[in-house]
Amino acid sequence: MLATLPRGGCLVPMSTTSATVAELAAATDAISAYRQRVANLALPHVGKERDDLVTAIYEAERALRVAERTLQRALRLAEA
């Protein structure tokens, strides 16, 4: 039988929790890297009459930032 950790009134196998933490950490790192890459895509277009493109890129970057923060929150909860 696997060792268990208490979680919200139930027991969760440690291997499942460890795997979840590892996956959340990897996803957080990946989203963070993509967020930075997307933000950098706007730089060459700033001030070059492509406000529509820059705006769309920055909107995508903000959405990725929200995803990054949500994953960080999930990671903190999984580690608790």
Tell me the whole-structure pTM to 2 decimals. 0.76
* Element holding 48 (H helix, E strand): none
Is residue 63 included in any domain, yes or no?
Answer: yes
Residues of the chain with pLDDT under 50: 1-2
Instruction: Find the domain containing 58 and state its range.
Output: 36-80
Is residue 12 included in any domain, yes or no?
Answer: no
Is residue 23 included in any domain, yes or no?
Answer: no
Work out how many domains the chain is built from and give that number.
Answer: 1
Is residue 40 included in any domain, yes or no?
Answer: yes
Q: What digits encode the pLDDT tens for the residues 34-49? A: 999 999 999 999 999 8
Classify residue 71 by burial, with Cβ atoms within 10 Å: 0-12, 13-18, 19+: buried
The predicted pLDDT at position 60 comes to 98
The predicted pLDDT at position 1 comes to 40
